[in-house]
Structure 1
Amino acid sequence: MAILDLQNLTMNPEEATEVSKAIFIATITGGDLSEYHEIETGVTHKRQIPFIGNLGLVGKKQTGCNRSENGASIPLTEKFWDPVLIGDRLAHCATDVNALLKLFKKAQRVNPDFYDRIGSEELGLIIAKVEQAMKKMNNRLVWFGDTAADNVTDSGVITDGVDVAFFNILNGLFKQIFAEVPTSAKNYVEISKNAGASYGAQALDPNTALGVFRAMHNAIDARFFEAIEEGAQPELLVTRELYQNYWDQLEDKSLAFTLQEAREGVNAMSYRGIPIKVRHDWDNNIRSYQDNGAKYNLPNRAILTVKENIPVGTVSEEDLGNIESWYEKKDKKNYIDFDLMLDTKHLLDYMTVAAY
């Protein structure tokens, strides 16, 4: 299949003649991983992440010269980086572009210029779109990856018709967090509307978000605050409806808030000093790929943690957006490849409060 699909494009004498005249449809990528995660580089194979625990109680009253030994010990546990090699290839043939399409500048001679599109506007456009798709892929796998992913008809949560091979590459953070912060955990906060039996029933009631954020903050472990004092970077990652619900309530209660936000911008939003970061890409993934036809899978989610607790592992940060392109004379095609190693880890369960 041609990478530039022209079947819905009408050719006529008034067609656009410059790429700058085209409208680029917006997409939600989620942005760079480094905005939300610490990036651990040099991760090429299964590698140990040791956790050094704490010594128990020490110090007793002493009444003589002979002392009994304290039997306390320092426990050590572990997790492992287990990066997965991810890649893809796309091909573009010059003949896939209709000769009448004037959007791209044409070659002045047939061989090799007609076929070799390296450096051309059309291949530049394709590469830009691949880079965009890679950002979406990175965020999708880091959060929604699940090695046991299945479609709804197979008792999974992936929308029927969606290829689960785009999800079952590695276990992402939601899979890990749901296992380590289950509904029975003290650092779990329920969002009851997620249990609604329809899209409408899952919509949040007014003033819900503030209650969720308050309960999450109250569930924070004391070690979380200590980590912040030592330089850790806290963040409250939320789906859009929670974010909008909180914004609406603050606007309703305070004109001063509205004016301040107008001056400082959306990125100034916080709760009790912890920056709130709305994850539009979460909403996009849930609504596009976790829809059973009647409702979404946990459409309202919030994760309160520190960046250092949800690191991403890779060989090189440059690989996360690095693309290779070349022209193959034998095939008379232009190829675009990318390869990267990727893994992510939820390190300490007590450093996270999860609402879902």
Structure 2
Amino acid sequence: MGINKVMYGSKTVIDLSGSTVAPDKMLKGIIGYNAAGEEVIGTHQCQAGIGTGAYVWAIYDTKEEWNYTTKSLTSTSFPDGYDSTTYVGWTITNDGYFELNKGTTSGDTYYLPEDSVGRKAKKILRKGRYSVINPYTVMTIKDMPDTVKGDNLLGYVSSDTEDAYPLKGVQDNKYYIRISGSDADVTAGKMLSGIVGYTNNGKVTGSIQSQAAQTITPGASDKTIASGKYLSGTQTIKGDANLLAENIKNGVSIFGVAGSFAGGSSGGSKTAQGTVTGAGADPVTIDTGLDNVSTFVLFCHKSASTSGVISAAYADGTTTVVGVSYSQYFKTVGYSSGTIAVEGGTVSYTPKDNTAITKLMQGAEYTWIAIE
């Protein structure tokens, strides 16, 4: 049997006779005492979306959590007032101190003030492993801990007004998080797959699918990313340094780049070709139609029945000629050369005097190709 009244002489110290505490009137786990002085443990636990109120909160216990501030130093030199002993990590103690850890690391390093005791301090120095301009930062524990959400769910409460309890915060030494209200409009298509939310109509599970990181290589047809997906990784569209106007045929556009190449397949240089008839010992002149010529070749398609040039080539000032010396009984290949002269887009071939093997065979058709 409990005690509901305590007297000290004629003075009443405790009087519970008027208590209306009952298990169903207190949140689950909360302890109180009834009019008989007996301990009562709360049993009330309403569910989200159920109850008389339009708004529902989840109630948690609270805990104290120490936080810290940071300040970057402008100097690149090790600052005064800190011991040079290196530490590789830190934790925050329950009474609000940094406690540094020894060991090895390839990351940031930490240092204690010279007047610190043991490995604990309210203020420490951090040196960033990859920070070059401002490598040093001072980290300072706040004067007071913050009251934050605890790990234990105490129950739920509802109200007709949205500001009866904090949207997310502390009241009466409990931590409240509003989980539902008259304005709740969560739908499956607004949340990632597997995420759970609640509205006045109950539980909602998200359905939005995620798209992981990928690399997309352009091709002849369109490639798409389906709508309604959450991009959980980097989406890379491949580029190509060869996507240049001079590499694309004139009149053709690829991915918005209009081509300017008007020649053949010589890597962006203009080309021209045609035929010319051999004139024996006389020179032959060819107007290629180009602005200038860096390379020129000509050759005869038919087997020679007379002495003369089979093929000739010119590249940046050097001439090479292959000819044949023909007689009644045999042919002899020779490399004697006439002269190829280039002036702008005009090419002239002049045989060597009194050398039949250097002549363009009279009446024979030669094909020529010129490259700017």
Same fold (TM over 0.5): no
The TM-score with structure 1 as length reference comes to 0.16
More strand by share: 2
The TM-score with structure 2 as length reference comes to 0.15
The structure having more radius of gyration, on CA atoms, is 2
